Amino acid sequence: MRSKVILFSLITLIIGSIGYFVIWSHWIKYIFAHIGAVGIIGLFPPLILGIIAVYLVDPPKQGVLPESCGGIVSLGTALIVAIMYLATKKRKALEET
């Protein structure tokens, strides 16, 4: 399972990076930037929370791109999840010794 997640993260990061730099002058580059972000974050719950945050703070308007993508919420959630995982892992290691 771990190797599949790593492979998926690498693929989305590469596709996102290539698409972002190849389609530089079009709004589609933002879609590729977010595909690359999936590769960096690698966690889907933070991405969903980021999308929800954008819709709550800045509801979409027809023909207008939102002011934010919710990336700060996604990264913050991913950071909290990573810290909790590492703390739990460290606690289990200490209990075993």
With bands split at pLDDT 50, 70 and 90, how would you rate the model's confidence at 45?
Answer: low
Residue corresponding to tokens 């996604």: 74
pLDDT in tens, 30-41: 788 878 877 777
- The better pLDDT of the pair 88, 59 is held by 88
Q: 65 is in which domain, residue-wise?
A: 2-96
pLDDT of residue 35: 80
Domains held by the chain: number: 1
Q: How far apart are CA 83 and CA 94, in angstroms?
A: 16
Residue corresponding to tokens 């974050």: 41
The number of C-alpha atoms within 13 Å of 87 and in the hemisphere containing its C-beta is: 6
Whether the full predicted model's pTM is greater than 0.85, yes or no, is no
pLDDT of residue 46: 65
